[in-house]
Amino acid sequence: MKKRFPSVVAGILYIPFGVLLAWVSDMGMIGTSVSTYIAFVVGFFVAYISKTIFYSVTRKKAIPEQEIEKALLTSTLYIIPFIILAFMARILLGWSTMMPFIATATISFVGSATAEVSKSGMKSVFGSLMPSILASLLTMVWTLGVSILF
């Protein structure tokens, strides 16, 4: 398994959020491209930062890297229901806010990845809290950026 594979999968799963944000804001083709790219980058970095923290914390505990990558890949599945909910909210209910779905998907993804890695033997408070804090900060910056730009 490639080292960046879970990060790329998470980035790809964030692309629909970028499309939804562009759709809600009526950005046009260039705006949609930029929004989609930003969504991919955010998803990639959330997974990459989490993976890096998990690697650094579990290095001494002899937890194999495959366990961490498996935990991240399993946790990416928690993003899918929020994508479906966001599309349903936009199409069926006409909602124009998508950031709560994105923030909740991010926190559930990182939280479930932390729980999975903890099952493998990670007992560090730093390793449990830092991915969630950094993912929350990254989502907050994205939310503020969207509200400022659009």
Q: What is the pLDDT of residues 17-26, one digit of tens each?
A: 888 888 877 7
What digits encode the pLDDT tens for the residues 31-62? Answer: 778 888 888 988 898 888 888 888 887 776 66
**Residue 81: how many CA atoms within 13 Å on its side-chain side?**
7
- What is the mean pLDDT of the segment spanning 116-124? 77
> Alpha-carbon distance 106 to 139, whole Å?
8
Provide the residue range defining the domain that includes 24. Answer: 5-149
* Structural domains in the chain (count): 1
Q: Tell me the angle at which helices 28-58 and 125-149 cross, rounded to the nearest 10 degrees.
A: 170
Please give the share of the chain, as a percent, with pLDDT higher than 90: 8
Residue 3 has pLDDT above 70, yes or no: no
Instruction: Confirm if 58 and 122 have CB atoms less than 8 A apart.
Output: yes
Buried b (16+ CB within 10 A) or exposed e, 121-148: ebebeebbebbbebbeebbeebeeebee
The residue type at 4: R
- What is the mean pLDDT of the segment spanning 65-77? 85
Measured distance between the N- and C-terminal CA atoms of the chain, rounded to whole angstroms: 39
pLDDT at 145: 75
pLDDT at 1: 47
Mean pLDDT of the chain: 82
User: Across 25-116, where does the E strand assignment appear?
Assistant: none
- What is the mean pLDDT of the segment spanning 73-95? 90
Residue 2 has pLDDT above 80, yes or no: no
